[in-house]
């Protein structure tokens, strides 16, 4: 729910929201990022197999280049892998 609110604010109130975010100290924003990272790390401990490989590919590309490229490559890799595995097992795509 918080994410949807932030996306909505970013899309429709960009100019005024920039001033609001500048009012927050960087330490508070950093703490929010640490909490978000901890939530994602807790989920990632349960991931195994093919999903782990795709997650690591996405994470490494996101860190080395940028988030958008990492996301796009991870999404494309997921779809290509799913299509390849289905056809390899004889399922009709």
Q: What is the pLDDT of residues 65-75, one digit of tens each?
A: 998 999 999 99
* pLDDT confidence of residue 80: 92
The pLDDT of residue 88 is above 80? no
The pLDDT of residue 26 is above 60? yes
* pLDDT confidence of residue 64: 94
| Concatenated DSSP letters of the chain | -HHHHHHHHHHHSHHHHHHHHHHS-HHHHHHHHHHHHHHHHHHHTT--HHHHHHHHHHHHHHHHT-HHHHHHHHHHHHHHHHHHHHHHTT---
């Amino acid at each position: 729910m918080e994410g949807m609110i932030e996306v909505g604010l970013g899309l429709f109130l960009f100019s005024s929201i920039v001033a609001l975010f500048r009012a927050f100290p960087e330490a508070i924003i950093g703490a929010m990022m640490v909490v978000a990272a901890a939530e994602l790390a807790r989920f990632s401990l349960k991931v195994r197999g093919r999903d782990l490989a795709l997650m690591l590919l996405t994470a490494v590309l996101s860190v080395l280049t940028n988030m958008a490229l990492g996301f796009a490559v991870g999404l494309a890799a997921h779809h290509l892998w799913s299509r390849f595995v289905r056809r390899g097992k004889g399922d009709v795509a």
